[in-house]
Amino acid sequence: MNVHSSGSPSAPMVTTSTPSAMPPILSSPVSSANLPMASSSSSSFVAPATLPPPLPLPSSSSSSSSTPTPPNVVNNLPMPTYMFNNNSSNPLGSSDWMNQICLQVVNDMNLYGICVIDNFLGEAQGDSILNEVKSLYEYGIFQEGQLVRKVNRPRTLTQTIRSDKIVWIDGSESQCGNIGFLIQTLDSILYKCNTMDNNGLFSKYNINTRTKAMIACYPGCGTRYVKHVDNPNSDGRRITSIYYLNKGWEVERDGGLLRMYPVGYEDHVADISPLFDRVIFFWSDRRNPHEVQPAFSIRFAITVWYFDDEERNQAMQSTNSLSSSTSSPSTKFITGY
């Protein structure tokens, strides 16, 4: 991930974004029987003018189980990317692996509002997820991405704002076992971050539900998503998690860069390449405007949004929000382990 001075004027921002209207909550729990498969405020959040100071948490970069890439520093603003080694001494889903991941997520989300982790699940697991995603794409079930508020926009205008193709997956489908593995691993991480001690901003929220996973494909040819905020209207989404599946990706050739404009760092942007087996977490609200720049190769990503209970409940009770819901992905409860 590169962080640098934005240089040019900020792009105009669209305040309606993924997905279409938010869904009702279902009561089916995510099983927490086997790790890592299982495991998983206020009504109108106003982003602070400056980000909070870092927490006094141990960094996973000091552990032998992780090897951080050198941080990019501009005006003394470090934005590191962490590389986790999934090997026999630190198996995927072990308590050590989980603790290191959660410590880094909590630390970076408090400090920057964004956390980037490479080599998240390892190549073998990433390949298995990618194969399932490719199979779904070949079935032809992906549809054009929609915007949160459904108004009478021309189809071409929506495509101008976002031109990805998407499908919603529960993870329990017979052909999506590895996608389900990813979802439940994300559940484990976010549940632990929300319930651990000394977790800073996480302590302000109750995170017990999430959306289904949205698998998105930018099919090349300059497809993009203009600058926007995931949750501009207090619909309950608090954390965005994205897992990338793009092998051999080179931004100079393939495009598709995720550019973030974190509030509090207005003179800088965070550029995140959609690299294979990379996962990112960031606050879904107005703290993190972002865009997907034009992609010139097929670009896959899996996104799961996590709700804050209080804001979500208020949004569900509001007569002005969610009333136009027609096609909504279901939410699930997440549990600990």
Task: Quick: pLDDT tens for 126-182.
Answer: 999 999 999 999 999 999 876 655 445 454 544 568 778 999 999 999 999 999 999
CB 183 within 8 A of CB 215: no
How many CA atoms are closer than 13 Å to the CA of 252, on its beta-carbon side? 0
Asked which of 98-107, 111-120, 169-178, 261-270 is least confident by mean pLDDT, the reply is 261-270
Contact between 216 and 133 (Cβ < 8 Å): no
Q: Do the domain assignments include residue 273?
A: yes
Q: Which residues contact 32 (CB under 8 A, 6 or more apart)?
A: 38, 39, 40, 335, 336, 337
- State how many domains the chain has: 1
How many angstroms separate the CA atoms of 171 and 184, rounded?
9
Cα→Cα distances 116→37, 84, 274, Å: 21, 11, 11
Which residues are CB-contacts of 99 (< 8 A; sequence separation ≥ 6)? none
Reduce the DSSP state of residue 213 to 3 states and report it.
strand
Domain region containing 247 = 19-37+55-333
Average pLDDT of 224-229?
94
Confidence tier at 326 by pLDDT (50, 70, 90): very low
Nearest-angstrom CA–CA distance, 148 and 19: 5
Whether 287 is in a domain gets the answer: yes
CA count, 13 A, side-chain hemisphere, 268 = 18
Indicate whether 6 belongs to any domain. Answer: no
pLDDT over 60 (residue 73): no
Task: Kindly tell me if the per-residue pLDDT of 26 is higher than 70.
Answer: no
Alpha helix positions (H), the chain: 95-111, 123-139, 155-161, 177-195, 251-254, 309-317
Cα atoms found within 13 Å of the Cα of residue 133, Cβ hemisphere only? 28
Q: What is the mean pLDDT of the chain?
A: 75
Q: Residue 102: pLDDT above 50?
A: yes
Tell me: pLDDT of 81 over 80: no
pTM of the model: 0.76
**Confidence at residue 232, expressed as pLDDT on a 0 to 100 scale:** 94
Distance CA 150, CA 20 (A): 7
- DSSP at 119: S
| Residue 60 forms part of a structural domain | yes
Q: In this predicted model, what pLDDT tens digit does every residue of 277-306 receive, in sequence order?
A: 999 999 999 999 999 999 999 999 999 999
CATH number of domain containing 190: 2.60.120.620
- Portion of the chain with pLDDT greater than 70, in percent: 63
Residue carrying the six token digits 């073998």: 124
Q: Classify residue 118: in a domain, yes or no.
A: yes
* 178 lies in some domain: yes
Residue 319 lies in a domain: yes
**Cα–Cα distance, 281 to 288 (Å, whole number):** 11
Q: Does residue 2 lie in a domain region?
A: no
80 has a pLDDT exceeding 70: no
3-class DSSP assignment, residue 3 = strand
User: Quick one: tokens of 121?
Assistant: 């699940």
How far is residue 251's CA from residue 298's CA, in Å, rounded to a whole number?
A: 12
